[in-house]
């Protein structure tokens, strides 16, 4: 006899980008603007494909502003040459987002007079990296050296090294970029680490020639033991908190942030059925509540799984060709998709995240997903004793679901109860009022 059987498992993939982040997205560096344009970045998506010291980093943005004003400065560990920079595919990032997004799972109770059965538990040759840079071709009197200069797609790119942050700031200003106030102190630590500066701006002629309606992602490949994301510069443009979704692709296992605490996003919670129509609001409220409870100082793990499968899947796993477009460089033509994806969601601000994100690779293959469960009660007539007991148990179950929802989201308990009653009333056949 089954208590309830899965009649339908509707997986609602949630594009967290739409749920949890403001409309404007940005790279992990900062924007600089010509003239007096004020540009603010609010969020970003980054894909890091990493194996040992080899990394391919994809930076996606949804910049909203005049294309002519767009420019970007990102610290990088080495001097990059043209062959180490490519245009990425925005659809691949959307695929990663869909595959790893927190999901809503829907079950329907079976006739309680049937055999009982527990609910299924949730599932639970490297390509060559381009050679490094040739000798720089220009030494600036400000202590700034143009290590490389080239164009890729619609982007004109220079890679700079600098001896002093003030000199770098002056150089950028003299070359037509208005640096946001306060940039120099934030540039200084990267100079001390001997990091370089990847500076990209849009070539308007190429952009118009390509007929693009948005800025395409940029990909960079390099070899370095550094495993980090420079988020501090991104705060220059920010007016408040920013959201960052990081997808780390590794042949080994989960990636971890080493200098900030990482916690799992609340998961496997049974919540009222009416949430199905309000899942976006639910997830935003739940994330905000968790973020505040953790003191705004943690990163959230939203997904960790081997790309070879998923259970349940909110979208098909990426195939080899898609993984290659995402920067995965260690797959062989007829081999398995040995790719473990870690999805981290970081909401950061200047005061809570004073350091860049530092990562490490691990061999931990433990799976995790943000998963939320709806259980529809059995609506048919019951005549057996087990059925009567089942019906008696429902009010307590509904109350528990309501309390869980209130705890996760901070929503008003009475409003939750009212919505549950309203939905139950709508789902009850009218004749039950006289023919129970």
Residue 166's pLDDT is 87
Residue 249's pLDDT is 97
pTM of the complete model: 0.81
Residue 328: partners with Cβ closer than 8 Å, 6 or more residues away: 49, 56, 249, 339
Q: What are phi and psi of 51, to 5 degrees?
A: -145, 110
Apex CA 50: angle with CA 20 and CA 57, to 5°? 55
139 strand-pairing partners: 145
Residue 360's pLDDT is 95
**CA 313 to CA 305: how far, in whole Å?**
11
User: Is the distance from CB of 128 to CB of 140 less than 8 angstroms?
Assistant: no
Reading the chain (436 residues) residue by residue, the pLDDT tens digits are 343 333 333 333 333 333 333 333 334 444 443 322 233 345 688 999 999 999 999 998 766 677 777 778 899 999 999 999 999 999 999 999 989 988 888 889 988 887 554 554 544 444 444 444 444 444 457 899 999 999 999 999 999 999 998 888 888 888 877 667 767 888 899 999 999 999 998 888 888 888 887 889 999 999 999 999 988 877 776 667 888 899 999 999 999 999 999 999 999 999 999 999 889 899 999 999 999 999 999 999 999 999 888 777 778 899 999 999 999 999 988 777 799 999 999 998 888 888 999 999 999 999 999 999 999 998 888 889 999 999 899 999 999 999 999 999 999 999 999 999 887 776 666 666 666 5
**CA 22 to CA 355: how far, in whole Å?**
23
Residue 310's pLDDT is 79
Residue 51's pLDDT is 95
Residue 430's pLDDT is 64
């Amino acid at each position: 006899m089954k208590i309830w059987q899965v009649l339908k498992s509707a997986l609602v993939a949630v594009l967290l980008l739409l749920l949890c982040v403001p409309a404007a997205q940005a790279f992990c560096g900062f924007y600089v603007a010509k003239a007096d344009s004020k540009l603010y970045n609010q969020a970003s998506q980054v894909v890091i494909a990493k194996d040992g010291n080899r990394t391919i980093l994809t930076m996606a943005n949804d910049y909203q502003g005049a294309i002519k004003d767009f420019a970007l400065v990102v610290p990088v560990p080495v001097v990059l040459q043209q062959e180490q920079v490519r245009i990425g595919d925005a659809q691949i990032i959307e695929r990663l987002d869909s595959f790893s997004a927190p999901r809503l799972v829907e079950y329907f109770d079976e006739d309680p007079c049937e055999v009982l059965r527990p609910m299924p538990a949730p599932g639970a040759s490297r390509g060559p990296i381009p050679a490094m840079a040739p000798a720089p071709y220009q030494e600036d009197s400000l202590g700034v050296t143009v290590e490389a200069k080239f164009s890729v797609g619609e982007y004109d790119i220079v890679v700079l090294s600098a001896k002093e942050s003030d000199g770098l700031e002056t150089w950028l200003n003299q070359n037509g970029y208005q640096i946001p106030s306060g940039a120099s102190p934030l540039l200084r630590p990267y100079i001390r680490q001997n990091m370089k500066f990847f500076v990209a701006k849009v070539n308007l002629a190429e952009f118009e020639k390509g007929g693009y309606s948005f800025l395409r992602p940029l990909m960079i490949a390099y070899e370095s033991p550094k495993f980090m994301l420079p988020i501090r510069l991104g705060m220059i443009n920010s007016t408040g908190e920013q959201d960052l979704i990081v997808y780390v692709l590794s042949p080994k296992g989960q990636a971890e942030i080493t200098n900030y605490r990482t916690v799992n996003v609340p998961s496997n919670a049974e919540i009222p059925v009416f949430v199905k129509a309000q899942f976006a609001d639910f997830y935003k409220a739940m994330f905000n509540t968790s973020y505040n409870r953790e003191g705004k100082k943690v990163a959230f793990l939203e997904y960790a799984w081997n790309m070879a499968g998923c259970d349940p899947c909110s979208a098909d796993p990426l195939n080899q060709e898609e993984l290659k477009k995402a920067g995965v460089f260690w797959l062989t033509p007829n081999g398995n998709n040995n790719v473990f994806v870690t999805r981290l969601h970081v909401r950061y601000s200047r005061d809570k995240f004073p350091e860049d994100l530092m990562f490490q690779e691990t061999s931990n293959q433990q799976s995790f997903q943000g998963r939320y469960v709806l259980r529809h009660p059995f609506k048919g007539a019951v005549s057996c004793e087990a059925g009567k007991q089942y019906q008696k148990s429902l009010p307590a179950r509904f109350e528990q679901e309501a309390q869980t929802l209130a705890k996760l989201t901070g929503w008003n308990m009475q409003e939750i109860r009212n919505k549950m009653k309203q939905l139950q009333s709508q789902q009850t056949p009218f004749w039950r009022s006289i023919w129970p």
